[in-house]
Structure 1
Protein backbone atom coordinates (compact mmCIF):
# COMPACT_ATOMS: atom_id res chain seq x y z
CA UNK A 1 0.00 0.00 0.00
CA UNK A 2 1.21 3.50 -0.78
CA UNK A 3 2.01 5.47 2.37
CA UNK A 4 2.37 9.17 3.05
CA UNK A 5 6.15 8.85 3.04
CA UNK A 6 6.18 7.06 -0.30
CA UNK A 7 4.12 9.87 -1.80
CA UNK A 8 7.49 11.60 -2.14
CA UNK A 9 8.33 9.13 -4.89
CA UNK A 10 5.83 10.77 -7.25
CA UNK A 11 4.91 14.38 -7.81
CA UNK A 12 5.73 15.22 -4.21
CA UNK A 13 9.28 13.95 -4.66
CA UNK A 14 9.80 16.17 -7.67
CA UNK A 15 8.56 19.20 -5.79
CA UNK A 16 10.58 18.50 -2.68
CA UNK A 17 13.71 17.58 -4.60
CA UNK A 18 13.53 20.80 -6.58
CA UNK A 19 13.02 22.82 -3.42
CA UNK A 20 15.83 20.95 -1.70
CA UNK A 21 18.18 21.71 -4.58
CA UNK A 22 17.23 25.37 -4.46
CA UNK A 23 17.90 25.40 -0.74
CA UNK A 24 21.45 24.25 -1.32
CA UNK A 25 22.32 26.32 -4.39
CA UNK A 26 19.87 29.23 -4.75
CA UNK A 27 18.08 31.88 -2.78
CA UNK A 28 14.67 30.38 -1.92
CA UNK A 29 12.94 33.69 -2.49
CA UNK A 30 9.25 33.25 -1.69
CA UNK A 31 9.30 29.44 -2.01
CA UNK A 32 8.07 28.26 1.40
CA UNK A 33 8.80 24.59 0.72
CA UNK A 34 12.37 25.46 -0.21
CA UNK A 35 12.76 27.51 2.98
CA UNK A 36 11.41 24.65 5.12
CA UNK A 37 13.83 22.19 3.55
CA UNK A 38 16.72 24.62 3.98
CA UNK A 39 15.91 25.23 7.65
CA UNK A 40 15.15 21.57 8.34
CA UNK A 41 12.10 22.63 10.34
CA UNK A 42 8.36 22.81 9.65
CA UNK A 43 6.66 25.32 11.97
CA UNK A 44 3.14 24.14 12.75
CA UNK A 45 0.59 26.23 14.61
CA UNK A 46 -1.69 24.25 16.88
CA UNK A 47 -3.66 24.73 20.10
CA UNK A 48 -2.45 23.58 23.51
CA UNK A 49 -5.81 23.15 25.25
CA UNK A 50 -7.98 21.15 22.86
CA UNK A 51 -7.90 17.59 24.17
CA UNK A 52 -7.51 15.16 22.44
CA UNK A 53 -6.77 16.96 19.17
CA UNK A 54 -3.96 19.23 20.37
CA UNK A 55 -2.87 19.87 23.94
CA UNK A 56 0.07 20.03 26.33
CA UNK A 57 1.17 16.83 28.04
CA UNK A 58 2.47 16.86 31.61
CA UNK A 59 6.05 17.16 30.30
CA UNK A 60 5.17 20.29 28.34
CA UNK A 61 5.23 18.65 24.91
CA UNK A 62 2.40 18.90 22.40
CA UNK A 63 0.19 15.82 22.07
CA UNK A 64 -2.98 14.86 20.20
CA UNK A 65 -4.34 13.83 16.84
CA UNK A 66 -3.44 17.09 15.09
CA UNK A 67 0.07 16.92 16.52
CA UNK A 68 0.43 13.38 15.18
CA UNK A 69 -0.73 14.56 11.74
CA UNK A 70 1.78 17.41 11.72
CA UNK A 71 4.57 15.09 12.82
CA UNK A 72 3.87 12.69 9.96
CA UNK A 73 3.86 15.52 7.41
CA UNK A 74 7.19 16.83 8.71
CA UNK A 75 8.77 13.36 8.80
CA UNK A 76 7.72 12.71 5.20
CA UNK A 77 9.41 15.97 4.22
CA UNK A 78 12.56 14.91 6.03
CA UNK A 79 12.42 17.83 8.49
CA UNK A 80 11.64 18.29 12.18
CA UNK A 81 8.23 19.50 13.33
CA UNK A 82 8.23 22.58 15.55
CA UNK A 83 4.87 23.17 17.21
CA UNK A 84 3.85 26.73 18.00
CA UNK A 85 0.97 27.52 20.34
CA UNK A 86 -1.91 29.36 18.68
CA UNK A 87 -5.42 30.21 19.84
CA UNK A 88 -8.73 30.53 18.04
CA UNK A 89 -8.26 34.30 18.11
CA UNK A 90 -4.68 34.56 16.76
CA UNK A 91 -4.09 31.46 14.59
CA UNK A 92 -4.86 33.13 11.25
CA UNK A 93 -2.73 36.16 12.11
CA UNK A 94 0.21 33.92 13.07
CA UNK A 95 0.00 32.19 9.70
CA UNK A 96 -0.44 35.32 7.61
CA UNK A 97 2.49 37.02 9.37
CA UNK A 98 4.84 34.07 8.83
CA UNK A 99 5.22 32.96 12.45
CA UNK A 100 4.13 29.49 11.33
CA UNK A 101 4.21 27.68 7.98
CA UNK A 102 1.19 25.44 8.45
CA UNK A 103 -1.87 25.69 10.68
CA UNK A 104 -3.50 22.53 12.03
CA UNK A 105 -5.70 23.97 14.77
CA UNK A 106 -9.28 22.65 14.51
CA UNK A 107 -10.18 25.52 12.18
CA UNK A 108 -13.45 25.21 10.30
CA UNK A 109 -13.13 26.02 6.60
CA UNK A 110 -15.43 28.98 5.91
CA UNK A 111 -15.73 31.53 3.10
CA UNK A 112 -14.94 34.41 5.45
CA UNK A 113 -11.70 32.78 6.65
CA UNK A 114 -10.59 32.10 3.08
CA UNK A 115 -10.23 35.85 2.68
CA UNK A 116 -7.30 35.69 5.12
CA UNK A 117 -5.63 32.28 4.59
CA UNK A 118 -5.80 29.41 2.12
CA UNK A 119 -7.44 26.18 3.26
CA UNK A 120 -5.83 23.18 1.60
CA UNK A 121 -8.13 20.54 0.17
CA UNK A 122 -9.23 17.93 0.90
CA UNK A 123 -10.22 18.90 4.43
CA UNK A 124 -8.93 16.61 7.17
CA UNK A 125 -11.80 16.55 9.71
CA UNK A 126 -15.29 17.89 10.34
CA UNK A 127 -17.61 18.99 13.13
CA UNK A 128 -20.74 20.96 13.90
CA UNK A 129 -21.66 22.96 16.98
CA UNK A 130 -24.03 22.42 19.88
CA UNK A 131 -24.16 23.00 23.65
CA UNK A 132 -22.94 21.13 26.72
CA UNK A 133 -25.59 21.64 29.39
CA UNK A 134 -26.10 20.43 32.95
CA UNK A 135 -28.65 17.59 33.06
CA UNK A 136 -30.71 19.84 35.31
CA UNK A 137 -31.37 21.99 32.23
CA UNK A 138 -34.19 20.18 30.42
CA UNK A 139 -33.88 21.92 27.06
CA UNK A 140 -34.26 19.73 23.96
CA UNK A 141 -34.49 22.41 21.26
CA UNK A 142 -32.45 25.54 20.65
CA UNK A 143 -35.55 27.67 21.20
CA UNK A 144 -35.59 26.43 24.80
CA UNK A 145 -32.40 28.38 25.60
CA UNK A 146 -33.15 31.55 23.62
CA UNK A 147 -32.12 34.58 25.65
CA UNK A 148 -29.71 32.56 27.81
CA UNK A 149 -25.94 33.09 28.08
CA UNK A 150 -23.47 30.47 26.80
CA UNK A 151 -19.72 30.38 27.37
CA UNK A 152 -17.45 29.89 24.36
CA UNK A 153 -13.87 30.33 23.18
CA UNK A 154 -12.96 33.61 21.49
CA UNK A 155 -12.67 33.33 17.71
CA UNK A 156 -14.80 30.19 17.36
CA UNK A 157 -16.57 30.47 14.00
CA UNK A 158 -19.96 29.43 15.41
CA UNK A 159 -20.20 32.15 18.09
CA UNK A 160 -21.82 34.68 15.76
CA UNK A 161 -24.25 32.34 13.92
CA UNK A 162 -25.44 30.83 17.21
CA UNK A 163 -26.27 34.30 18.50
CA UNK A 164 -27.97 35.38 15.30
CA UNK A 165 -29.93 32.18 14.67
CA UNK A 166 -30.97 31.20 18.18
CA UNK A 167 -30.98 34.43 20.18
CA UNK A 168 -28.42 33.32 22.74
CA UNK A 169 -25.79 35.57 24.29
CA UNK A 170 -22.19 34.38 23.94
CA UNK A 171 -19.68 35.13 26.69
CA UNK A 172 -16.29 34.46 25.08
CA UNK A 173 -12.97 33.67 26.77
CA UNK A 174 -9.39 33.14 25.62
CA UNK A 175 -9.28 29.37 26.15
CA UNK A 176 -11.12 26.22 27.12
CA UNK A 177 -10.13 26.33 30.79
CA UNK A 178 -11.58 29.82 31.15
CA UNK A 179 -14.90 28.79 29.60
CA UNK A 180 -15.20 25.84 31.98
CA UNK A 181 -14.40 28.00 34.99
CA UNK A 182 -16.99 30.61 33.96
CA UNK A 183 -19.69 27.94 33.61
CA UNK A 184 -18.96 26.39 37.00
CA UNK A 185 -19.12 29.92 38.48
CA UNK A 186 -22.63 30.30 37.08
CA UNK A 187 -21.78 32.98 34.52
CA UNK A 188 -23.45 30.95 31.75
CA UNK A 189 -25.78 27.96 31.54
CA UNK A 190 -23.58 25.84 29.26
CA UNK A 191 -20.69 25.63 26.81
CA UNK A 192 -21.09 26.38 23.11
CA UNK A 193 -18.63 24.00 21.43
CA UNK A 194 -17.82 21.57 18.61
CA UNK A 195 -19.90 18.42 18.95
CA UNK A 196 -16.68 16.37 18.74
CA UNK A 197 -15.27 18.16 21.76
CA UNK A 198 -18.45 17.65 23.75
CA UNK A 199 -18.47 13.93 22.95
CA UNK A 200 -14.95 13.66 24.36
CA UNK A 201 -16.02 15.49 27.52
CA UNK A 202 -18.97 13.16 28.02
CA UNK A 203 -16.62 10.16 28.05
CA UNK A 204 -14.99 11.66 31.15
CA UNK A 205 -16.65 10.94 34.55
CA UNK A 206 -15.96 14.57 35.45
CA UNK A 207 -18.85 15.54 33.17
CA UNK A 208 -21.30 12.84 34.29
CA UNK A 209 -23.88 15.47 35.29
CA UNK A 210 -23.88 17.07 31.84
CA UNK A 211 -25.41 16.15 28.49
CA UNK A 212 -25.69 17.25 24.85
CA UNK A 213 -29.47 17.41 24.27
CA UNK A 214 -29.72 19.97 21.44
CA UNK A 215 -29.49 19.21 17.70
CA UNK A 216 -26.06 19.60 16.09
CA UNK A 217 -25.87 22.59 13.77
CA UNK A 218 -23.83 23.44 10.66
CA UNK A 219 -21.53 20.44 10.28
CA UNK A 220 -18.45 22.05 8.73
CA UNK A 221 -15.11 20.55 7.61
CA UNK A 222 -11.87 21.45 9.37
CA UNK A 223 -9.02 22.57 7.13
CA UNK A 224 -5.26 22.79 7.31
CA UNK A 225 -4.24 26.26 6.22
CA UNK A 226 -1.26 27.82 4.46
CA UNK A 227 -0.62 31.38 3.38
CA UNK A 228 -2.60 32.42 0.32
CA UNK A 229 0.62 32.75 -1.67
CA UNK A 230 1.38 29.07 -0.96
CA UNK A 231 -1.95 27.61 -2.06
CA UNK A 232 -0.89 26.77 -5.62
CA UNK A 233 2.84 26.82 -4.90
CA UNK A 234 4.93 23.69 -4.14
CA UNK A 235 4.19 23.78 -0.39
CA UNK A 236 0.41 24.02 -0.76
CA UNK A 237 0.39 21.27 -3.39
CA UNK A 238 2.49 19.02 -1.18
CA UNK A 239 0.18 19.50 1.82
CA UNK A 240 -2.87 18.78 -0.35
CA UNK A 241 -1.29 15.53 -1.53
CA UNK A 242 -0.37 14.59 2.02
CA UNK A 243 -3.94 15.01 3.28
CA UNK A 244 -5.37 13.04 0.38
CA UNK A 245 -2.91 10.22 0.98
CA UNK A 246 -3.72 10.07 4.70
CA UNK A 247 -7.40 9.73 3.82
CA UNK A 248 -6.59 7.13 1.17
CA UNK A 249 -4.44 4.82 3.29
CA UNK A 250 -6.50 5.15 6.48
CA UNK A 251 -3.86 7.09 8.45
CA UNK A 252 -6.35 9.69 9.67
CA UNK A 253 -8.79 7.02 10.85
CA UNK A 254 -5.98 5.28 12.71
CA UNK A 255 -4.76 8.47 14.37
CA UNK A 256 -8.31 9.25 15.43
CA UNK A 257 -8.58 5.89 17.18
CA UNK A 258 -5.06 6.15 18.64
CA UNK A 259 -6.14 9.34 20.40
CA UNK A 260 -9.30 7.85 21.86
CA UNK A 261 -11.70 9.64 19.53
CA UNK A 262 -14.81 7.85 18.33
CA UNK A 263 -14.75 7.05 14.60
CA UNK A 264 -16.20 9.99 12.70
CA UNK A 265 -18.58 9.62 9.79
CA UNK A 266 -16.58 12.20 7.85
CA UNK A 267 -13.30 10.26 7.99
CA UNK A 268 -15.04 7.01 7.11
CA UNK A 269 -16.67 8.65 4.10
CA UNK A 270 -13.42 10.24 2.91
CA UNK A 271 -11.49 6.99 3.26
CA UNK A 272 -14.11 5.09 1.31
CA UNK A 273 -14.10 7.65 -1.50
CA UNK A 274 -10.30 7.87 -1.81
CA UNK A 275 -9.05 4.41 -0.86
CA UNK A 276 -7.16 2.27 -3.40
CA UNK A 277 -9.80 0.47 -5.48
CA UNK A 278 -7.36 -2.36 -6.27
CA UNK A 279 -6.82 -3.38 -2.63
Structure 2
Protein backbone atom coordinates (compact mmCIF):
# COMPACT_ATOMS: atom_id res chain seq x y z
CA UNK A 1 0.00 0.00 0.00
CA UNK A 2 2.91 2.35 0.72
CA UNK A 3 4.16 1.72 -2.82
CA UNK A 4 0.75 2.55 -4.29
CA UNK A 5 0.46 5.78 -2.31
CA UNK A 6 3.96 6.77 -3.34
CA UNK A 7 3.12 6.11 -7.00
CA UNK A 8 0.01 8.27 -6.78
CA UNK A 9 1.91 11.05 -5.04
CA UNK A 10 4.60 11.01 -7.74
CA UNK A 11 1.90 10.98 -10.42
CA UNK A 12 0.37 14.09 -8.88
CA UNK A 13 3.66 15.94 -8.94
CA UNK A 14 4.32 14.88 -12.52
CA UNK A 15 0.88 16.06 -13.60
CA UNK A 16 1.44 19.43 -11.99
CA UNK A 17 4.78 19.93 -13.71
CA UNK A 18 3.43 18.67 -17.02
CA UNK A 19 0.59 21.16 -16.89
CA UNK A 20 3.10 24.00 -16.67
CA UNK A 21 5.40 22.69 -19.40
CA UNK A 22 2.49 21.90 -21.73
CA UNK A 23 1.58 25.57 -21.81
CA UNK A 24 5.01 26.76 -22.81
CA UNK A 25 6.88 24.01 -24.64
CA UNK A 26 6.67 21.70 -27.61
CA UNK A 27 5.52 18.35 -26.24
CA UNK A 28 7.17 16.27 -28.93
CA UNK A 29 6.39 12.59 -28.32
CA UNK A 30 5.24 13.15 -24.72
CA UNK A 31 1.60 11.97 -24.84
CA UNK A 32 0.61 13.27 -21.41
CA UNK A 33 2.09 16.69 -22.18
CA UNK A 34 0.19 16.80 -25.48
CA UNK A 35 -3.08 15.72 -23.84
CA UNK A 36 -2.72 18.39 -21.16
CA UNK A 37 -1.82 21.03 -23.76
CA UNK A 38 -4.86 20.24 -25.92
CA UNK A 39 -7.18 19.70 -22.98
CA UNK A 40 -8.53 16.55 -24.64
CA UNK A 41 -7.96 12.84 -24.02
CA UNK A 42 -8.97 10.81 -27.09
CA UNK A 43 -10.32 7.46 -25.96
CA UNK A 44 -11.12 4.62 -28.34
CA UNK A 45 -14.14 2.55 -27.35
CA UNK A 46 -16.84 0.44 -28.97
CA UNK A 47 -20.35 1.69 -29.68
CA UNK A 48 -22.18 -1.65 -29.69
CA UNK A 49 -21.06 -3.45 -26.55
CA UNK A 50 -23.92 -3.00 -24.07
CA UNK A 51 -23.57 -2.33 -21.14
CA UNK A 52 -19.83 -1.61 -21.30
CA UNK A 53 -19.71 0.82 -24.23
CA UNK A 54 -22.51 1.74 -26.61
CA UNK A 55 -24.41 4.60 -28.25
CA UNK A 56 -27.35 6.16 -26.44
CA UNK A 57 -30.39 7.31 -28.47
CA UNK A 58 -28.96 10.85 -28.51
CA UNK A 59 -25.75 9.58 -30.13
CA UNK A 60 -23.55 9.95 -27.06
CA UNK A 61 -21.36 7.14 -25.72
CA UNK A 62 -22.60 5.35 -22.61
CA UNK A 63 -21.57 2.37 -20.51
CA UNK A 64 -19.15 1.30 -17.82
CA UNK A 65 -16.03 1.75 -19.95
CA UNK A 66 -17.21 5.21 -20.96
CA UNK A 67 -17.69 6.11 -17.29
CA UNK A 68 -14.17 4.84 -16.59
CA UNK A 69 -12.80 6.97 -19.43
CA UNK A 70 -14.60 10.06 -18.15
CA UNK A 71 -13.21 9.44 -14.66
CA UNK A 72 -9.65 9.19 -15.98
CA UNK A 73 -10.05 12.39 -18.00
CA UNK A 74 -11.46 14.15 -14.93
CA UNK A 75 -8.44 13.12 -12.86
CA UNK A 76 -6.11 14.38 -15.60
CA UNK A 77 -8.02 17.66 -15.71
CA UNK A 78 -9.03 17.34 -19.36
CA UNK A 79 -12.09 16.52 -21.44
CA UNK A 80 -12.75 12.98 -22.70
CA UNK A 81 -13.38 12.65 -26.44
CA UNK A 82 -14.63 9.19 -27.41
CA UNK A 83 -13.75 7.70 -30.77
CA UNK A 84 -15.57 4.67 -32.16
CA UNK A 85 -13.38 1.62 -32.63
CA UNK A 86 -14.16 -2.00 -33.47
CA UNK A 87 -12.55 -5.29 -32.52
CA UNK A 88 -10.88 -5.31 -35.92
CA UNK A 89 -9.41 -1.77 -35.98
CA UNK A 90 -8.90 -0.73 -32.34
CA UNK A 91 -5.19 -1.64 -32.16
CA UNK A 92 -4.49 0.03 -35.50
CA UNK A 93 -6.21 3.24 -34.36
CA UNK A 94 -4.02 3.32 -31.26
CA UNK A 95 -0.75 2.49 -33.01
CA UNK A 96 -1.44 5.18 -35.65
CA UNK A 97 -2.12 7.86 -33.04
CA UNK A 98 -5.81 8.36 -33.80
CA UNK A 99 -6.51 7.80 -30.11
CA UNK A 100 -4.43 8.26 -26.95
CA UNK A 101 -5.96 5.49 -24.88
CA UNK A 102 -8.01 2.42 -25.71
CA UNK A 103 -10.69 1.15 -23.34
CA UNK A 104 -12.52 -1.32 -25.56
CA UNK A 105 -12.98 -4.72 -23.86
CA UNK A 106 -9.55 -5.80 -25.12
CA UNK A 107 -8.15 -8.97 -23.58
CA UNK A 108 -4.49 -8.61 -22.59
CA UNK A 109 -2.63 -11.26 -24.60
CA UNK A 110 1.04 -11.79 -25.47
CA UNK A 111 0.29 -11.54 -29.19
CA UNK A 112 -1.38 -8.14 -28.80
CA UNK A 113 1.53 -6.81 -26.74
CA UNK A 114 3.60 -6.98 -29.91
CA UNK A 115 1.43 -4.14 -31.29
CA UNK A 116 0.42 -2.04 -28.26
CA UNK A 117 1.20 -1.82 -24.55
CA UNK A 118 -1.29 -2.77 -21.85
CA UNK A 119 -1.32 -0.69 -18.68
CA UNK A 120 -1.18 -2.75 -15.50
CA UNK A 121 -3.03 -3.53 -13.39
CA UNK A 122 -5.76 -4.81 -15.70
CA UNK A 123 -9.22 -3.39 -15.15
CA UNK A 124 -11.61 -6.25 -16.00
CA UNK A 125 -11.72 -9.89 -17.09
CA UNK A 126 -13.71 -12.39 -19.16
CA UNK A 127 -13.56 -15.77 -20.81
CA UNK A 128 -15.43 -16.96 -23.89
CA UNK A 129 -18.31 -19.27 -24.67
CA UNK A 130 -21.15 -19.65 -27.18
CA UNK A 131 -24.71 -18.33 -26.86
CA UNK A 132 -27.01 -21.04 -28.25
CA UNK A 133 -30.77 -21.42 -28.66
CA UNK A 134 -32.36 -23.34 -25.80
CA UNK A 135 -33.47 -25.89 -28.40
CA UNK A 136 -29.81 -26.91 -28.76
CA UNK A 137 -29.07 -29.61 -26.20
CA UNK A 138 -25.26 -29.46 -26.32
CA UNK A 139 -23.55 -29.29 -22.93
CA UNK A 140 -19.96 -29.87 -24.05
CA UNK A 141 -17.87 -28.18 -26.74
CA UNK A 142 -17.31 -31.50 -28.46
CA UNK A 143 -21.03 -31.62 -29.24
CA UNK A 144 -20.83 -28.60 -31.58
CA UNK A 145 -17.66 -29.70 -33.41
CA UNK A 146 -17.93 -29.01 -37.13
CA UNK A 147 -20.69 -26.44 -36.62
CA UNK A 148 -20.50 -22.75 -37.62
CA UNK A 149 -20.70 -19.99 -35.00
CA UNK A 150 -20.85 -16.23 -35.62
CA UNK A 151 -18.31 -13.89 -34.05
CA UNK A 152 -16.64 -10.48 -34.35
CA UNK A 153 -13.62 -9.87 -36.55
CA UNK A 154 -10.51 -9.39 -34.45
CA UNK A 155 -11.82 -11.22 -31.37
CA UNK A 156 -8.85 -12.95 -29.74
CA UNK A 157 -10.76 -16.15 -29.05
CA UNK A 158 -11.71 -16.88 -32.68
CA UNK A 159 -8.49 -18.75 -33.44
CA UNK A 160 -8.18 -20.82 -30.23
CA UNK A 161 -11.87 -21.78 -30.36
CA UNK A 162 -11.44 -23.07 -33.91
CA UNK A 163 -8.23 -24.92 -33.15
CA UNK A 164 -9.26 -26.43 -29.83
CA UNK A 165 -12.87 -27.33 -30.52
CA UNK A 166 -12.94 -27.83 -34.29
CA UNK A 167 -15.71 -25.29 -34.88
CA UNK A 168 -16.07 -22.97 -37.86
CA UNK A 169 -16.09 -19.21 -37.18
CA UNK A 170 -17.99 -16.80 -39.41
CA UNK A 171 -16.71 -13.36 -38.40
CA UNK A 172 -18.34 -9.96 -38.98
CA UNK A 173 -17.28 -6.34 -38.49
CA UNK A 174 -19.95 -5.45 -35.92
CA UNK A 175 -22.44 -6.79 -33.41
CA UNK A 176 -25.47 -5.93 -35.57
CA UNK A 177 -24.11 -7.96 -38.49
CA UNK A 178 -23.35 -10.88 -36.17
CA UNK A 179 -26.86 -10.88 -34.75
CA UNK A 180 -28.38 -10.61 -38.22
CA UNK A 181 -26.42 -13.63 -39.43
CA UNK A 182 -27.65 -15.63 -36.44
CA UNK A 183 -31.24 -14.65 -37.24
CA UNK A 184 -30.71 -15.74 -40.85
CA UNK A 185 -29.58 -19.17 -39.74
CA UNK A 186 -26.02 -18.76 -41.00
CA UNK A 187 -24.65 -20.00 -37.67
CA UNK A 188 -25.91 -21.97 -34.68
CA UNK A 189 -24.89 -19.39 -32.08
CA UNK A 190 -22.65 -16.45 -31.20
CA UNK A 191 -19.10 -16.93 -29.94
CA UNK A 192 -18.18 -14.07 -27.58
CA UNK A 193 -17.16 -12.93 -24.11
CA UNK A 194 -19.10 -14.64 -21.34
CA UNK A 195 -19.72 -11.18 -19.84
CA UNK A 196 -21.50 -10.10 -23.01
CA UNK A 197 -23.50 -13.32 -23.22
CA UNK A 198 -24.71 -12.91 -19.63
CA UNK A 199 -25.76 -9.33 -20.43
CA UNK A 200 -27.73 -10.59 -23.43
CA UNK A 201 -29.43 -13.37 -21.50
CA UNK A 202 -30.66 -10.87 -18.90
CA UNK A 203 -32.90 -9.22 -21.56
CA UNK A 204 -36.22 -10.34 -23.00
CA UNK A 205 -34.82 -10.25 -26.54
CA UNK A 206 -32.59 -13.24 -25.84
CA UNK A 207 -34.93 -15.17 -23.53
CA UNK A 208 -34.88 -18.20 -25.82
CA UNK A 209 -31.09 -18.53 -25.65
CA UNK A 210 -28.63 -19.99 -23.16
CA UNK A 211 -24.92 -20.38 -22.40
CA UNK A 212 -24.66 -24.14 -21.75
CA UNK A 213 -20.99 -24.71 -22.65
CA UNK A 214 -18.16 -24.29 -20.08
CA UNK A 215 -16.50 -20.86 -20.17
CA UNK A 216 -12.97 -21.01 -21.56
CA UNK A 217 -9.72 -19.09 -21.01
CA UNK A 218 -10.67 -16.37 -18.54
CA UNK A 219 -8.39 -13.48 -19.55
CA UNK A 220 -7.97 -9.98 -18.07
CA UNK A 221 -8.97 -6.89 -20.07
CA UNK A 222 -6.40 -4.15 -20.35
CA UNK A 223 -6.40 -0.45 -21.14
CA UNK A 224 -3.93 0.00 -23.98
CA UNK A 225 -1.50 2.78 -24.94
CA UNK A 226 1.15 3.03 -27.60
CA UNK A 227 4.28 1.01 -26.83
CA UNK A 228 6.32 4.20 -26.43
CA UNK A 229 3.99 5.28 -23.61
CA UNK A 230 4.32 2.11 -21.53
CA UNK A 231 7.38 3.30 -19.62
CA UNK A 232 6.75 7.00 -20.12
CA UNK A 233 4.97 9.41 -17.79
CA UNK A 234 1.58 8.73 -19.40
CA UNK A 235 1.81 4.99 -18.75
CA UNK A 236 2.91 5.38 -15.15
CA UNK A 237 0.20 7.92 -14.37
CA UNK A 238 -2.49 5.67 -15.85
CA UNK A 239 -1.17 2.72 -13.81
CA UNK A 240 -1.55 4.79 -10.64
CA UNK A 241 -5.08 5.86 -11.57
CA UNK A 242 -6.20 2.30 -12.34
CA UNK A 243 -4.70 1.02 -9.07
CA UNK A 244 -6.50 3.70 -7.09
CA UNK A 245 -9.82 2.95 -8.83
CA UNK A 246 -9.45 -0.67 -7.74
CA UNK A 247 -8.42 0.35 -4.22
CA UNK A 248 -11.22 2.82 -3.54
CA UNK A 249 -13.97 0.70 -5.14
CA UNK A 250 -14.61 3.00 -8.11
CA UNK A 251 -14.66 0.11 -10.60
CA UNK A 252 -17.18 -1.79 -8.44
CA UNK A 253 -19.39 1.31 -8.16
CA UNK A 254 -19.34 1.91 -11.92
CA UNK A 255 -20.14 -1.75 -12.55
CA UNK A 256 -23.26 -1.50 -10.36
CA UNK A 257 -24.23 1.86 -11.88
CA UNK A 258 -24.42 0.19 -15.28
CA UNK A 259 -26.56 -2.71 -14.09
CA UNK A 260 -23.71 -5.24 -14.01
CA UNK A 261 -23.40 -7.69 -11.14
CA UNK A 262 -20.08 -7.16 -9.39
CA UNK A 263 -17.59 -9.50 -11.04
CA UNK A 264 -15.27 -11.89 -9.24
CA UNK A 265 -12.25 -10.18 -10.84
CA UNK A 266 -13.11 -6.71 -9.54
CA UNK A 267 -14.00 -8.01 -6.08
CA UNK A 268 -10.65 -9.80 -5.92
CA UNK A 269 -8.69 -6.74 -7.08
CA UNK A 270 -10.45 -4.44 -4.62
CA UNK A 271 -9.81 -6.84 -1.75
CA UNK A 272 -6.13 -7.10 -2.71
CA UNK A 273 -5.57 -3.33 -2.89
CA UNK A 274 -7.99 -1.83 -0.38
CA UNK A 275 -6.84 -0.34 2.91
CA UNK A 276 -6.96 -3.01 5.63
CA UNK A 277 -6.39 -0.68 8.57
CA UNK A 278 -9.01 -0.97 11.30
Are 1:8 and 1:16, in contact at CA under 8 Å, matched by a contact in 2?
no
RMSD over aligned Cα, in angstroms?
A: 1.4
Q: Does 1:245 align with 2:252?
A: no
Aligned length: 275
Deviation of 1:162 after TM superposition, in Å, equals 0.2
Question: 3-state SS of the aligned residue for 1:10?
Answer: helix
**Deviation string for 1:219-275 (max 9, x for gaps)?**
000000000000011100011111100000000001001001111100000000000
- Distance across 1 between alignment mates of 2:10 and 2:258: 31
Structure 1 unpaired stretches of 5+:
1-5
Deviation of 1:7 after TM superposition, in Å, equals 9.5
- Distance across 2 between alignment mates of 1:72 and 1:18: 21
Are 1:43 and 1:82, in contact at CA under 8 Å, matched by a contact in 2?
yes
Give the equivalent residue in structure 2 for 1:209: 208
How does the TM-score come out when normalised to structure 1?
A: 0.96
Structure 2 unpaired stretches of 5+:
none
The structure 1 segments of at least 4 consecutive aligned residues displaced by more than 3 Å after TM superposition are 6-9
What are the equivalent positions in structure 2 for 1:41-80 lying under 5 Å apart?
A: 41-80=40-79
Are 2:7 and 2:240, in contact at CA under 8 Å, matched by a contact in 1?
no
Give the equivalent residue in structure 2 for 1:87: 86
How does the TM-score come out when normalised to structure 2?
A: 0.97
Are 2:126 and 2:195, in contact at CA under 8 Å, matched by a contact in 1?
yes
What are the equivalent positions in structure 2 for 1:102-181 lying under 5 Å apart?
A: 102-181=101-180
Question: 3-state SS of the aligned residue for 2:261?
Answer: coil
**Deviation string for 1:29-52 (max 9, x for gaps)?**
111000000000000000000000
- Distance across 1 between alignment mates of 2:14 and 2:46: 29
Are 1:7 and 1:245, in contact at CA under 8 Å, matched by a contact in 2?
no
- Distance across 2 between alignment mates of 1:200 and 1:26: 47
Are 2:41 and 2:79, in contact at CA under 8 Å, matched by a contact in 1?
yes
